[in-house]
Structure 1
Amino acid sequence: MPIGAIDIRVQHQAVYLEKMSLEYEQKLDFLLTEIIQTEQTYVEDLEVIIYDYMRPAEEEGIGCRSIKNEDFVKTVFSNIEDVHYFAFYLAEQLEEWSPNVGQCFVNLKPEFDVYIEYCTNFKVALEYLEKARKRHSEVDEWLSEQQKASGKALGLETYLLKPLQRLLKYPLLLKQLLKYVSHSSSDYAAIASAHADIQAC
């Protein structure tokens, strides 16, 4: 093969690799932005639960004499405030650590235990809500009123599902990151470790 042809081939390969590198960098930036922004949105969803439902139930009651407000709050909302506190802190830390989000997840690994109590109680919470709605019209009316006051199209049950959905989303996002982070990057090992840890939750 003539030397000139080899040079052209090398140049084409260099251009191709540069283009691929740029595409990977753009996809990585997009993913990092998605992780941070969706965490912030998730925090806002948790605040709907707390401020549009839980706080009113605690302060004003649910208007049903057959159900104690404190029992309703404890059963339905579990440790949602702890989950919210952690999610809020995680959102801040992700922004601070970006683009090295893998290390952020590794550092906060023990804090993910906050989801254990919530996930354990979730089924009980939904069953409790379903029975309360059917047996006591006051509860159904109260929930409808709170949803209307919140201005949200989705009801409480949908929002209560958000923590479980988010917990399942973390491994998927981290797996995507592994595709676009260089193996030589200092954060690659951290992302791989975080992915394995969270997947085991």
Structure 2
Amino acid sequence: LISDGSVVCAEALWDHVTMDDQELGFNAGDVIEVMDATNREWWWGRVADGEGWFPASFVRLRVNQDEPADDEALGPGRRGAGDGGDAEAQGSRDQMRTNVINEILSTERDYIKHLRDICEGYLRQCRKRADMFSEEQLRTIFGNIEDIYRCQKAFVKALEQKFNRERPHLSELGACFLEHQADFQIYSEYCNNHPNACVELSRLAKLSKYVYFFEACRLLQKMIDISLDGFLLTPVQKICKYPLQLAELLKDFKDVEAALHAMKNVAQLINERKRRLENIDKIAHLGMAHPTPAGSALYRLTPKAPLTPTLPLPALGRPYYLTRQKHPALPTSLPQQQVLALAEPKRKPSTFWHSISRLAPFRK
């Protein structure tokens, strides 16, 4: 990524708030100078007068590092250069589009591998252990990630068909986003369920046998050194990143403009469904303790801020460079069958759907 001691610039996608003096705090939209990217997950960078570590997933590298901001940046020798200057500017725009399109395809291929590792490395292994995980428990942890995996495979195939290998800047990727607009709505269910997955994984993390089991899954799949909840956060981040990528392509191309609006609508739809679910959940818990007549203030839902790429994501916790050694060490003398041979925990039934049955006016 960085060679010969050069420095590249990245734009912050979300706020990064930290109390650690070794981490770099910034706001969404800030431009960060990336000085060290040898670690895939945590980079070292500088913003304003501060330096420190920050999560690589919170930023996006600028597609064209040398692109001038306006005519003033071109210098007096290049302003008013006539046809030669116009041709050079057009070449720069074509190169920028090429870089963006290559970035979209590259990140999509990486994302497919990421989803496959979760489905095959974790979910498939969990299903083999019916003594440890029930189907309801797996649905809580992984949500509909298999549906997302199937959707993304079809989407990547469509992108590959639209990709112009000889002249990448002429690739018409916007049409692919429009064709699959409805498919992306399945992310709504996943995003709504993600907080429940975090709660369940936090509970299982207190039981050593589950900690060892998940670590064994990661090692067998040869995945990078991140906990399962970190892997499961990626789809939430991915659906927010699409509008940012499409905005880079948005010039005079109608399909890309329509695709950008489509992906923004998907984000708004996900936010609206999540808002409804959260309000129904709150009313259900309040109704159990204090029954309230219909028409009271508790039944008036309050709108929340829209889910956009500029919203801060939940804190990732301490950097991996500080916690890398905290993964449990698996006994090397045990065969794989004994590593995964664990007992079934006692489960406490949820009262949510029992209480939600009392709220008939809110059921569709």
User: TM-score under structure 1 normalisation?
Assistant: 0.84
More helix by proportion, 1 or 2? Answer: 1
2:85 match: 16
2:294 match: none
Q: What secondary structure, in the 3-state scheme, does the structure 1 residue paired with 2:226 have? A: coil
Aligned-pair CA distance for 1:48: 1.0
Aligned-pair CA distance for 1:139: 1.2
Aligned-pair CA distance for 1:69: 2.9
1:84 aligns with 2:149: yes
Q: What secondary structure, in the 3-state scheme, does the structure 2 residue paired with 1:171 have? A: helix
2:140 match: 75
More strand by proportion, 1 or 2? Answer: 2
Aligned 1:163-174 pairs, distance under 5 A: 163-174=235-246
Distance 1:102 1:70 in 2: 38
Residue from 171, 178, 181 that aligns with 1:109: 181
- The one-letter amino acid paired with 1:104 is C
Give CA deviations for 1:19-52 in whole Å, capped at 9, x if unaligned.
0000110111111111111101101000111010
Residue from 205, 220, 228 that aligns with 1:133: 205
- The one-letter amino acid paired with 2:122 is Y
CA contact (8 A) 1:43 1:84 kept: yes
- The one-letter amino acid paired with 1:38 is T
Greater RCO (CA < 8 Å, at least 6 residues apart): 1
- Provide the aligned C-alpha RMSD in A: 1.8
Distance 2:228 2:205 in 1: 12
CA contact (8 A) 1:52 1:146 kept: yes
1:175 aligns with 2:244: no
Aligned 1:14-163 pairs, distance under 5 A: 14-61=83-130, 64=132, 68-98=133-163, 99-134=171-206, 136-152=207-223, 153-163=225-235
Q: What secondary structure, in the 3-state scheme, does the structure 2 residue paired with 1:193 have? A: helix
Distance 1:147 1:72 in 2: 19
Distance 1:103 1:147 in 2: 36
1:195 aligns with 2:260: yes
2:39 match: none
Long gaps (5+) in structure 1: 1-8
CA contact (8 A) 1:83 1:114 kept: yes
Q: State percent identity of aligned pairs.
A: 26
Give CA deviations for 1:104-129 in whole Å, capped at 9, x if unaligned.
11111111111111111011001111
Structure 1 runs of 4+ aligned residues shifted over 4 Å read none
Aligned length: 181
Distance 2:155 2:104 in 1: 11
- The one-letter amino acid paired with 2:83 is A
Distance 1:35 1:94 in 2: 9
Long gaps (5+) in structure 2: 1-77, 164-170, 268-364
Aligned-pair CA distance for 1:72: 2.6
CA contact (8 A) 1:57 1:69 kept: no
- The one-letter amino acid paired with 1:155 is S
